[in-house]
Chain A
Amino acid sequence: MKEQENIPTGKVERATRFVSAGIKVGGNYVKHYTKKLLDPTLTKEDLHEDNAKDIYNTLSNLKGSALKVAQMLSMDRGMLPTAYVDRFSLSQYSAPPLSGPLVVNTFNKTLGKSPQQLYDHFDMHACNAASIGQVHKAVKDGKSLAVKIQYPGVASSVSSDLKIVKPFAIRLVGMKEVEMDKYFEEIESKLLEETDYKLEVSRSIELSESCSHIENLVFPKYYPELSSERIITMDWLEGKHLKEFVDSNPSQEVRNKIGQALWDFYHYQVHHLRKVHADPHPGNFLMRDDGTVGIFDFGCVKEIPEFFYENYFRLTNRDIYKDESKWKQIYTNLELIYPDDTEEDMEFFSRLFHKMVDLLTLPFTQEQFDFGDETYFKEIYAYTDYVSNLKEVRNSKVARGSRHSLYINRTYFGLYSILSDLKANVKTKFVPVVLQ
């Protein structure tokens, strides 16, 4: 891996990077159509592949929050052509690391000692990138450790990054700017939290302790004395990332075990702790052949407000649609429809959301759900595709959906897509506390 010696921190410089990606993407279109003249069999997929590559390269140079946004985008498979998804998924595994002296400097600055003084062995070459940081392997007292180090200046560039990413994201997702505002606020506050490694350590310890009773989950031990606002030290976990794991052809039994463990993990957090590990991208899970799964990176934790929780999970109960005033109240509470909507808008969007909710809550209504069922996911993608192409949706000036739903939806979508890749068959039936 080529080491990256600089992170572009100035707003202008970051903006220039995006511009250069824009130019490249434009160039790709030119290239595509010239190629197509010569070779009519060429498909749009090749073009998407080219574009995704250039955008990814740009984003991975920017590091920090831009990369984070790339990661978020990469999970909404329904929203992006598959080629974008494949490329963006790369950003979940690796980005070029920073120079050795800067790593040492971060240690000296925040812990007062060099890595060589703190650990028996410290690998100066980063083995992994963690979007706003990089991971090094270390050994202390015979134990293998993972040491996550944050890039300097990330926290101070979060806000300016988001401003730059915004028009880009709007184009990519096909959303109106006004619609994005409340979501961008939510993203900004979450990203700022994520740059606080001290908070992450205390949350990791808290959440992994409260989930330790769940079967087949493995949490690393965290070392607060070897952690600072820029550094986190935890146990090194063995295991494979999702894609690698699936490629190794695990048995159905093992897939189900891991799938069940993940489902139980999220279930317990959402319904009992009301706080959820809201970053279920595949890079945060390490799967092993014995059916256990290692979980780390609690940088992004979403606390679920009671009011939102009650309304959101009432949707899993199909009975609500028997009573119009009931579901309309819930939809209004969730900001899906507004009292001042026109009759047609109300009718139109209610129908859309009704169908959407039916689709997405399907696993909740069954005893057992097979996430390997591709027709289910194809139906979801097809429907989101259909919805996002509707003229009424594209022209809508109103933001629909509570800001809290952003990370909760994302969490479930991430979980579904991992379970789908695993082709796991999971016991899913539950009755939400609010409905009992």
Chain B
Amino acid sequence: MDKQQILETYKVYLLENGKIPTSVYSFCKLLNITESEFYGFYNSLEAIERDFWLQVFESSLTQLEQDPIYQNYSAREKLLAFYFVWIQKMRENRSYVLLKKDNLKLYEIAKNNVLDDFKNAFYKYVDTLIKQGVESREVKERKYISDKYKHGFWLQALFVLNYWVEDTSNNFEMTDAAIEKAVDLSFRLIGEHTMDSLIDFGKFLLTKK
């Protein structure tokens, strides 16, 4: 028995019954392990759900990092590639995600912590992208604001996720288009743009006097 098996069994149970097991006790019976063995892997049923999101994220990242092309991508392209692979992985679990879709709305996420582990890992990942972006001048460092970029990207990831959940187009083509647009917009916002020149100009006028 390992974590993966428990996660799989949990998903299958949920997909077939439409609801979560009544207790850890009843779930352990299904797994044929003792409750105390179970706690060696997860400390609650909810922890399994948290792990699902983290695992999808991590397996996407592992797949990307094995790809030599990915290594040469710019920060913007890396994020694009990530979303594409992430959605691709999610496809294998679409039924499960759809069952849980009410949990994925923005106002729900604030209340539960199902996505927390995934979120923390995502923050770490996006931080490396932002650093790379700053070096390659794709991203502009701005006082006080730069630290918040990652929160923006998190919202973007949730947008992509929710868009895909609602997507009815063939092969989820519209999600592909949505990803391209969303990423393009975000990198335009955090790149050097008119606003910076405007602020710079304003500062210049003020200090000149």
Asked if B100 CB lies within 8 Å of chain A CBs, one says no
Decide: B184 and A153 in contact? CB cutoff 8 A.
no
Decide: A152 and B177 in contact? CB cutoff 8 A.
yes
- Tell me the interface secondary structure of chain A in the complex: helix
Interface membership of chain B positions 69-82, coded 1 if the CB is closer than 8 angstroms to chain A and 0 otherwise: 10001001100110
Interface membership of chain B positions 168-183, coded 1 if the CB is closer than 8 angstroms to chain A and 0 otherwise: 0111011011001101
- Tell me the interface secondary structure of chain B in the complex: helix
Asked if B84 CB lies within 8 Å of chain A CBs, one says yes
Asked if B59 CB lies within 8 Å of chain A CBs, one says no
Cα–Cα distance between A167 and B79 once the two chains are bound (Å): 39
Decide: B81 and A7 in contact? CB cutoff 8 A.
no
Query: On chain B, which size bracket covers the interface?
Result: 20 to 34
Enumerate A95-136 residues with CB–CB distance to B below 8 Å: 98-102, 104-106, 108-110, 114, 116, 124
Decide: A153 and B171 in contact? CB cutoff 8 A.
no
Interface membership of chain A positions 134-169, coded 1 if the CB is closer than 8 angstroms to chain B and 0 otherwise: 000000000000000000110110000000000000
Decide: B81 and A104 in contact? CB cutoff 8 A.
yes
Enumerate B52-104 residues with CB–CB distance to A below 8 Å: 67-69, 73, 76-77, 80-81, 84-85, 88
Decide: B170 and A102 in contact? CB cutoff 8 A.
no
Cα–Cα distance between A99 and B76 once the two chains are bound (Å): 10
Number of A-B contacts (CB under 8 A): 66
Decide: B69 and A156 in contact? CB cutoff 8 A.
no
Q: Which B residues touch A153, using CB under 8 A?
A: 169, 173-174, 176-177
Decide: A152 and B173 in contact? CB cutoff 8 A.
yes
Cα–Cα distance between A104 and B73 once the two chains are bound (Å): 12
Q: Which A residues touch B173, using CB under 8 A?
A: 152-153, 156
Q: Which B residues touch A108, using CB under 8 A?
A: 84-85, 88
User: Which B residues contact A (CB, under 8 angstroms)?
Assistant: 67-69, 73, 76-77, 80-81, 84-85, 88, 169-171, 173-174, 176-177, 180-181, 183-184
- Can you report 10 residue pairs joining A to B where beta carbons are below 8 Å apart? A6-B177, A6-B181, A99-B76, A100-B77, A104-B81, A105-B88, A106-B176, A108-B85, A109-B88, A153-B169
User: Which A residues contact B (CB, under 8 angstroms)?
Assistant: 5-7, 9, 98-102, 104-106, 108-110, 114, 116, 124, 152-153, 155-156
